[in-house]
Amino acid sequence: MRPSPGGSSVPESLASVRALRLGVAGPVGTGKSSLIATVCRALGEELRLGVITNDIYTDEDARFLRSAGVLAPERIRAVETGACPHTAIRDDITTNLIAAEDLERDFAPLDVVLIESGGDNLTATFSPALVDAQIFVLDVAGGGDVARKGGPGIGRADLLVVNKTDLAPYVGVDVALMVSDAETARDGRAVLALSKHDPSSISTLRAWVLGMLAAHRSGSHVPQDPGPMAPHFHADEEHPEGGFVHAHDDPHAHSHDHARTNAGAHAHE
């Protein structure tokens, strides 16, 4: 029970009736759309789901998900973000909020709305004003050391997914080591090694989503802001350990000419 402004209290079961809004962020090509398709396949029968995609100029991700046939096509909506995909999930979330509210109203009641970020670099995270929880997706093909390089999504998303583990032997990545590096970087927050070809990893993902939904409904989950860009190193500048620590006060005040990269370090002019 939680107190209402008038001093009486409302049952927990009525305190949180809105759908769980679950963000899926991560660099281009790491498997965000595929992960959403996997969640829809795993939970589409028992939960009422909706999906919002963010693409820069197209609705390609929405079309991919509709053609995958994992959910009724009208439950998958596209937001076109224009130039900076991270702006639409963090700085000016209006279009995404309206899309989520429209979807929740048109198909009421929904249990979970999955929101895919437009592909961006390692620094993009969702505002806690838009999503209740967020998953950050890396893939093994980005290299085993990506998890150690950090960034707000890697460090503090509610779940870090190390995706495409089936490809690890081909790219020479030790998945167990990548997961343990990630766990260290995340101070023990959840890390999941996932492959769309590995049913047991999909069961773990399914259980995580159900657990988060239960926590959202009970009011025990508090949406977290993974925060602005973590301090990071520029290899060509002075620091006792090589490179120097460089922090942005305002992550969005700097130029957006970053090289889009899976490897984490972005180029400043």
Ligand X SMILES: Nc1nc2c(ncn2[C@@H]2O[C@H](COP(=O)(O)OP(=O)(O)O)[C@@H](O)[C@H]2O)c(=O)[nH]1
Answer yes or no: are the C-beta atoms of 143 and 81 closer than 8 Å: no
Under the binding rule (CB under 6 A), the answer on residue 142 touching ligand X is no
Under the binding rule (CB under 6 A), the answer on residue 33 touching ligand X is yes
Under the binding rule (CB under 6 A), the answer on residue 44 touching ligand X is no
Reported residue count of the chain is: 269
Q: Which is nearer to ligand X, 59 or 166 (CB)?
A: 166
Q: Quick one: which of 166, 163, 169, 165 has its CA closest to 37?
A: 163
Under the binding rule (CB under 6 A), the answer on residue 153 touching ligand X is no
Answer yes or no: are the C-beta atoms of 56 and 168 closer than 8 Å: no
Under the binding rule (CB under 6 A), the answer on residue 186 touching ligand X is no
Count the Cβ atoms, other than its own, within 10 Å of residue 48.
Answer: 16
Q: Quick one: which of 105, 101, 98 has its CA closest to 79?
A: 98
Q: Which is nearer to ligand X, 132 or 139 (CB)?
A: 139
Measured from the CB of residue 163, what is the shortest distance to ligand X in angstroms? 6
Q: Quick one: which of 80, 79, 76, 55 has its CA closest to 65?
A: 76
Amino acid code (one letter) for 2:
R
Strands 159-163 and 191-193 come out as: parallel
Of the ranges 66-74, 91-99, 159-167, 202-210, which one interacts with ligand X (CB under 6 A)? 159-167
Q: Which is nearer to ligand X, 31 or 221 (CB)?
A: 31
Q: Which is nearer to ligand X, 104 or 166 (CB)?
A: 166
Q: Which of residues 161-180 bind ligand X (CB under 6 A)?
A: 163-164, 166-167
Among the listed residues 10, 28, 171, 176, the single contact to ligand X using CB under 6 A? 28
Measured from the CB of residue 93, what is the shortest distance to ligand X in angstroms? 20
Strand pairing partners for 79? 54
Q: Which residue has the tokens 């350990």?
A: 241
Residue 23 CA to residue 224 CA, distance in Å, equals: 12
Of the ranges 127-135, 148-156, 192-200, 208-216, which one interacts with ligand X (CB under 6 A)? 192-200
Under the binding rule (CB under 6 A), the answer on residue 29 touching ligand X is yes
Q: Which is nearer to ligand X, 137 or 221 (CB)?
A: 137
Q: Three-state DSSP class for 225?
A: coil
Measured from the CB of residue 250, what is the shortest distance to Mg ion in angstroms? 28
Residue 173 CA to residue 164 CA, distance in Å, equals: 11
Residues engaged in binding Mg ion (CB under 5 A): 32-33, 61
- Residue 195's binding partner among ligand X, Mg ion, none (Cβ under 5 to 8 angstroms by kind) is ligand X
- Paired tokens of 61: 């991700």
Residues in touch with ligand X (CB under 6 A): 28-34, 119, 163-164, 166-167, 195-197
